[in-house]
Structure 1
Amino acid sequence: MNIDVTNCDKEPIHIPGKIQSHGFLIVIDANGYIKYHSENIVNYLNDLPANLLGTHISTIEPIIGKNEPPNFINHLITLGKSNGFEQTNPFNTDLRGRPFHLIISQSADYYLLEFESARSDSNTDVQRTIGRSISEMLVDKNLQNLLNNSAIQVKNVIGYDRVMVYRFAEDGHGEVIAEARNAELPSWLGLHYPASDIPKQARELYKKSLTRLIVDVNAEPSAIITDADNTQVLDLTDSQLRAVSPIHIQYLKNMGVASSFSISLIYKQELWGLIACHNYSPRYIDFRSRESAKLIGQILSSALEFRQDEENQQVMDRYKSAVDQLSRLMLKDSSIEFALTAHDISVLDVVDAGGAVLMLEENVIKIGETPNDDQLKELVNWTKANVIDSLYYTNRLSGIYSAAEAYKDVASGVMISTLSRELDEYVFWFKPEQLEVVKWAGNPEKPVETDVEGNRILSPRNSFEEWSQTVTATSANWTNEEIKSVIRLRSEIAYALNQKAGAIRLLNEKLKQAYEELDTFSFTISHDLKNPISAIKSYAQILMRDKELKPQAMKALERINAGADKMNNMIQEVLEYSRIGRSELILSDLDPTSMIAEHVRELSLIYEVDPAVVTIRNTPPIKGDPVMVSQVFANVISNAIKYSKKASPQQIVIDATVDDREVVYTISDNGLGIDIKHLPRVFELFNRMDNVGDIEGTGVGLAIVKRIIEKHRGKIWVDSELGKGSTFYIAFNKA
């Protein structure tokens, strides 16, 4: 593959066809026959033939394990498949009187047998010093001090000339945020490196292989040979010896680096950064020492996650407290806008912003630093014309809306919560410009060279002299915690408006009109669509009785039949949604305990899961319509079970809290979760997330649940994280 400026991030670095030359590779199939091996095997075992392809591994086992019992490699593979190869690696063996490590991993249907020296270049016993180093590393609770200590301790353990903690930003570029180095070396602390230096596919490999050693950038890699008729490409993702991209090798040479070693840092199952180690002469670290170093990375990753979660929780608690206080004030004060802006706690406190504007009931109230009235009026017009979602945010407003350049000092970042587009009711939050001087390690634009055929070829940067760039018209990013806080506040404002607003409000009139139109639509689809759908289904079933139908035709009829069933279900759910608006509430005192337990039993049978995956805790009494409340619990519990089926172990918790105003039930799962950008639309009709795949559903259930809860004058909201699960909160009034 020719690597140029257009496809650097597509370079197939997991299938290089070569290995680093400080070890050798043998690849066998499930029957033990050699299908690939590295050319340099003769450098280690010179009495073997240069070509071992087709040979059974048992014929050379006496050479690569002279003191081992027959068939020992097959036994190691069997044990590794059962318990994980991390339990068997490395296997100590002896080659011509030299201690070697045998490391086994799987690649598709093949097994990689990698042989490396069991002795490092360094005299430091990494495994003995690791415990003390980890203790020193964790001595300080401050996050930055933790990173500084980690760099120092890793340098003490492996002895490389320079050790850096390198953190990735959202766009993939990285920054050196901690460093330990030899005194004669210049500092790289604070330098930024473009995303193309470690492209996307390389970052993905760092998530799978937590350590990566490059012994000598000047050593020639050894090719991997196979039979001419073998067209299967050998995937070396899990290989220890996998050769390095020629671009990256040249990049290291341009930096003057002879050897590198990296340890991945993982946060929430994503690549947070690297402990990147550089040496200016070749260095080899044996497998056991690398595994010990990997332990440092895993412990630091856990410590990072704990420290970061602790900081995030403090921020979330602060935001939650502000929203809770505003919620109480809105229900207590006669004016909602007064409640949101006139107290010690205001809308400005639900995020970290420099200013906020509330537009409600034809009032415009400004807090903190904001654009002026004329600028706000133009911004509202732009918002109405360009912002579709109920929640919108950016940290580069002037890059999208050029008029904002005039007030970028107070509003480079904006978050907009739309309360009513028709009534021009919004909440705006503004973040000021955050001037930042980014110090790059050389110009971040990689130079381009032209080859003899005129192709533009990517050339690794040669200059790493500090290159400064001033970033303007950009604010601090809006965090996930801020986004969730605003979503919660919007829900509380809507609830307060519904509680206090009279029939004269235009919004209620529009809702009434929409409900009437929905009723008409519901009856129309009931009468005008159900009959033809039934006819389609009947004709399809008649045709399916024809024994002479071809399989392809039968499959098409089955899909028609299934589609008719799905449409019937959707019609039925739309009718149910419509009926809720017309149904009268029959309020009574309810004890949901048996109701919830019965739903769990039934839904466990339907979705074929063990009822024990659902933990039922506190279930205090509530006041509500028995039929409708049962429908709410059935729907939310059903979603929790079906969207967490792939979790291992699957965990669902049903609990509740009680205060003087309301009973709040929570239903939590550890399933697919919801992308934060979809949270504002979770309860909309026919809205389904992108990640649900083929899981059954019509996108109506949660809309029905929300309508029932609002009919009970209650509240429902959700907190979710993609890949981590969801928690639904259902609040019932005690009065």
Structure 2
Amino acid sequence: MKDTNAMVNLTIKKDYDSDFCGSIPLHLVNLIQPYGFMMVLDKPQHRIVQISDNVGDFVPASVEEMLENSFANLLPGYQYDEILSKINNQKTEENIPVNVVLSVNGRENSFTALIHPKEDYVLIELEKSQSVGATDTSFLELYQQVKYITSQLKNAASIPEIAQIAVDSIKKLTGFDRVLGYQFDPKWNGIVIAQAKEENMDDYMGLRFPASDVPKQARDLYFRNPYRLIPTREYTPVRLIPVINPLTQRFTDLSDCNLRSVAPVHLEYLANLKIMSSMSLPLIVGNKLWGLISCHHKTPILPGYELRSALELLCSIVSGQLSGKERENSVQLKAQLKSVHAELLEQFYNSSSIAEGLLEGETSLHSLLDLSGIAIIFEGSILTSGSTPKNQELKELIAWFRRNKLDKIYSTDNLPNEFVQSKDFKEIASGLIVLPINAEQGEFILGFRKEVTQTVSWGGNPHQAIQMEPDGKTYHPRNSFAVYQEQVKFTSLPWKPEEIEAAEAIRSAVLEKIVRDRY
């Protein structure tokens, strides 16, 4: 399977992470989706002080009848004691579901409840225990399937393979028409590295989507929600009554809520994707949002709560496997670099000069840092090896370093974007790593990487990701996801953290040798 690492880490010059999209207060929409209902309780009496306008769709009572009612009056005593214990003792951000039976006006109804204790109130989300629209699967069956998928994940040889196993498995479990494995690049653009789909669904494999599709505000909420479910984009949002929380005199913060309504622009986005429903689950690696599992369906679909919980568990397992594979790749690369580094050090310490030790012999700095060119500016001379800029161009680079007081390891895979004059020699030096020896005297070791021109395929034109109305406030997502290709220039292969670490070790050795030889 194709290794997408270089593609994912490819430097995209333009920043598509829209500040405008990211500034929308998604957690304060004060609206919910109607596949469940919500209530807000005061502390400590647990009176219902706010409730969603659709409560009558779930229990035989009106909003007016429910407001100011005690939550304890709706439950058997043992269940209320259990919920009270969760409210008082919850010391984790994980929201653990609980099954409840509400008795309202003589009728009992079973629900799955999520309890969110807050400083000033308690927020409770409720869904009917049996959701319709997805294949019912017993806990044992789900457990067996998750165990089997886990064993497959453990045997995966690469990150793309882990992602492909995940999307294949989730599609089989849920019946969604299309499931995508989506990895973020350093600028939060997402690239599809795995896909499982029905034949009649559009193919997005390998396409990149601009960061504005999942702006910062939405990305942050994935740390508080195990998934984002939209059973149908054609729903009527439901208000909380009263609109303002009487306990805080503000909108109720719905950040933690699965039922939280969706911004109209996102529903428009789903329509442009030609899908009716979606579900997305975060992949979190090293406490950072690594990517998403994104599920699409052409018709409304509501996976049962048990199935959603299994997907939540599965994605945490996938995240763990991704983390392990990244760690394994890093260890292997470090071992390779350490072997080359040891050979280079032995050669270097036995040499008569820095240039001889780093540029000549069986091992060189070229092989350690995968360089196409090296320049050593030291003691008034310039020594080069491989493809490097001309001496005058090197002097201009040194002057730039000194103006910017560069006295630590510096690297870039997009030098022309940092130093405009380098466009004249971009073919041989789009990538640069700098090892300062004596920055004040203009002494440096420079490593260069050639330009690697790549064609990036986007899902729609990223320059038109957001289309503003004349009022400057209303905006729409792009209405086409046809492949849009652009050339990425002025970039080299990216510098890996392990390579930066190896460069720092060589710099320390050079400084040590200089001191030893002089004194």
2:84 is aligned to 77
Q: Structure 2 vs 1, CA of residues 357 and 287 (structure 1 numbering), >3 Å: closer, same or farther?
A: same
Contact 1:26 1:37 in 2 (8 A): yes
Mean Cα deviation higher: 25-34 or 133-142: 133-142
Q: How far has the Cα of 1:175 moved from its partner?
A: 0.8
Q: What is the SS of the residue equivalent to 2:222?
A: helix
Select 1:406's aligned residue among 424, 435, 441: 424
Superposition pairs of residues 230-629 of structure 1, within 5 angstroms: 230=247, 231-444=249-462, 445-451=464-470, 454-502=471-519
Which amino acid in 1 is paired with 2:43? A
Superposition pairs of residues 105-254 of structure 1, within 5 angstroms: 105-120=116-131, 121-125=133-137, 127=139, 128=141, 129-226=145-242, 230=247, 231-254=249-272
Superposition pairs of residues 17-36 of structure 1, within 5 angstroms: 17-31=30-44, 32-36=46-50
Q: Which residues of structure 2 form unaligned runs of 5+? A: 1-17
Contact 1:395 1:412 in 2 (8 A): yes
Superposition pairs of residues 671-710 of structure 1, within 5 angstroms: none
Mean Cα deviation higher: 185-194 or 390-399: 390-399
Residue deviations 1:292-342 (CA, integer Å, cap 9, x gap):
101111111111111111111111222233334333333333323211221
Q: Structure 2 vs 1, CA of residues 304 and 49 (structure 1 numbering), >3 Å: closer, same or farther?
A: closer
Q: Structure 2 vs 1, CA of residues 21 and 313 (structure 1 numbering), >3 Å: closer, same or farther?
A: same
In the superposition, the TM-score normalised over structure 2's length comes to 0.88
Are 2:101 and 1:93 equivalent residues in the alignment? yes
Q: How far has the Cα of 1:55 moved from its partner?
A: 2.5
1:47 is aligned to 61
Contact 1:76 1:88 in 2 (8 A): no
Q: What is the SS of the residue equivalent to 1:208?
A: coil
Q: Structure 2 vs 1, CA of residues 90 and 288 (structure 1 numbering), >3 Å: closer, same or farther?
A: farther
Alignment length, in residue pairs? 489
Q: Structure 2 vs 1, CA of residues 389 and 34 (structure 1 numbering), >3 Å: closer, same or farther?
A: farther
- Between the aligned partners of 1:167 and 1:132, the Cα distance in structure 2 is 24
Contact 1:394 1:415 in 2 (8 A): yes
Contact 1:319 1:349 in 2 (8 A): no
Contact 1:152 1:179 in 2 (8 A): yes
2:13 is aligned to none
Contact 2:51 2:63 in 1 (8 A): no
Q: What is the SS of the residue equivalent to 2:26?
A: coil
- Between the aligned partners of 2:286 and 2:370, the Cα distance in structure 1 is 24
Contact 2:449 2:493 in 1 (8 A): yes
Q: Structure 2 vs 1, CA of residues 391 and 126 (structure 1 numbering), >3 Å: closer, same or farther?
A: farther
Contact 2:430 2:490 in 1 (8 A): yes
Mean Cα deviation higher: 396-405 or 290-299: 396-405
- Between the aligned partners of 1:87 and 1:411, the Cα distance in structure 2 is 51
Q: What is the SS of the residue equivalent to 1:470?
A: strand
2:5 is aligned to none
1:11 is aligned to 24
CA RMSD of superposed structures (Å): 2.3
Larger Rg: 1
Q: Structure 2 vs 1, CA of residues 232 and 289 (structure 1 numbering), >3 Å: closer, same or farther?
A: same
Q: How far has the Cα of 1:438 moved from its partner?
A: 1.2
Which amino acid in 2 is paired with 1:472? K
- Between the aligned partners of 2:434 and 2:138, the Cα distance in structure 1 is 53
Residue deviations 1:349-378 (CA, integer Å, cap 9, x gap):
332332222223344332332223333233
Residue deviations 1:563-619 (CA, integer Å, cap 9, x gap):
xxxxxxxxxxxxxxxxxxxxxxxxxxxxxxxxxxxxxxxxxxxxxxxxxxxxxxxxx
Q: What is the SS of the residue equivalent to 2:477?
A: coil
- Between the aligned partners of 1:197 and 1:126, the Cα distance in structure 2 is 35
Which amino acid in 2 is paired with 1:167? Q
Contact 1:337 1:360 in 2 (8 A): no
- Between the aligned partners of 1:356 and 1:58, the Cα distance in structure 2 is 75
- Between the aligned partners of 1:332 and 1:350, the Cα distance in structure 2 is 18
- Between the aligned partners of 2:380 and 2:358, the Cα distance in structure 1 is 15
- Between the aligned partners of 1:76 and 1:225, the Cα distance in structure 2 is 23
Contact 2:281 2:293 in 1 (8 A): yes
Relative contact order (C-alpha < 8 Å, sep 6+): which is higher? 2
Q: Which residues of structure 1 form unaligned runs of 5+? A: 503-735
Q: What is the SS of the residue equivalent to 2:27?
A: coil
Residue deviations 1:124-158 (CA, integer Å, cap 9, x gap):
51741332333344443232222111110110011
Q: How far has the Cα of 1:211 moved from its partner?
A: 1.4
Q: How far has the Cα of 1:74 moved from its partner?
A: 4.6
Q: How far has the Cα of 1:222 moved from its partner?
A: 0.7
Contact 2:167 2:293 in 1 (8 A): yes
- Between the aligned partners of 1:428 and 1:73, the Cα distance in structure 2 is 69
- Between the aligned partners of 2:388 and 2:222, the Cα distance in structure 1 is 43
2:15 is aligned to none
Q: Structure 2 vs 1, CA of residues 294 and 6 (structure 1 numbering), >3 Å: closer, same or farther?
A: closer
- Between the aligned partners of 1:196 and 1:181, the Cα distance in structure 2 is 24
- Between the aligned partners of 2:515 and 2:296, the Cα distance in structure 1 is 62
Q: What is the SS of the residue equivalent to 2:499?
A: helix
- Between the aligned partners of 2:279 and 2:444, the Cα distance in structure 1 is 52
Q: What is the SS of the residue equivalent to 1:11?
A: coil
Q: Structure 2 vs 1, CA of residues 395 and 87 (structure 1 numbering), >3 Å: closer, same or farther?
A: closer
- Between the aligned partners of 2:484 and 2:96, the Cα distance in structure 1 is 48
In the superposition, the TM-score normalised over structure 1's length comes to 0.63
Q: Structure 2 vs 1, CA of residues 330 and 455 (structure 1 numbering), >3 Å: closer, same or farther?
A: closer
- Between the aligned partners of 2:340 and 2:252, the Cα distance in structure 1 is 56
Residue deviations 1:461-480 (CA, integer Å, cap 9, x gap):
11111111111111222222
Which amino acid in 1 is paired with 2:36? G
- Between the aligned partners of 1:472 and 1:12, the Cα distance in structure 2 is 36
Aligned identity (percent) is 28
Which amino acid in 1 is paired with 2:162? L
- Between the aligned partners of 1:274 and 1:321, the Cα distance in structure 2 is 36
Q: What is the SS of the residue equivalent to 2:241?
A: strand
Q: How far has the Cα of 1:49 moved from its partner?
A: 4.4
